[in-house]
């Protein structure tokens, strides 16, 4: 394989690894904490609200927004590393 193909494969592999990590975090927060562990988390109260309710209503949204910024930041670094950035 050519050096360019190896670089493309390394870039794509890194991108998939980053996306997979972000999706795993999003799944855990939105599905596991918000639905599966909802009742168990409701025994913990923060600010007067059950933690399970917070994850189901607010936590998954906040986590999703943080993941967007995290992904954009990491992709910018990855783009620069593989010299495919936009400047």
Is 86 domain-assigned?
no
Residue 49: the pLDDT is 87
85 against 52, higher pLDDT: 52
In-domain check, residue 49 = yes
Contacts of 22 (CB under 8 A, 6+ apart): 67, 70, 71
pTM of the model: 0.82
Domains held by the chain: number: 1
User: Which two three-digit tokens encode residue 38?
Assistant: 């909802």
1: pLDDT confidence band, cut at 50, 70 and 90?
A: low
Domain span at 18: 3-81
Residue 87 within any structural domain of the chain:
no
How many residues are recorded in the chain?
87
pLDDT per position as a tens digit, 2-57? 777 888 899 999 999 999 999 999 999 988 998 899 899 999 998 888 998 888 88
């Amino acid at each position: 394989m050519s050096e360019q193909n190896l670089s493309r494969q390394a870039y794509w592999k890194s991108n998939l690894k980053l996306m997979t990590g972000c999706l795993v975090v999003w799944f855990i927060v939105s599905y596991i904490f918000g639905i599966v562990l909802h009742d168990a988390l409701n025994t913990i109260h923060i600010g007067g609200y059950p933690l399970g309710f917070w994850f189901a209503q607010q936590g998954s949204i906040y986590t999703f927004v943080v993941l967007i910024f995290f992904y954009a930041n990491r992709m910018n670094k990855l783009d620069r590393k593989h010299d495919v950035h936009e400047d």
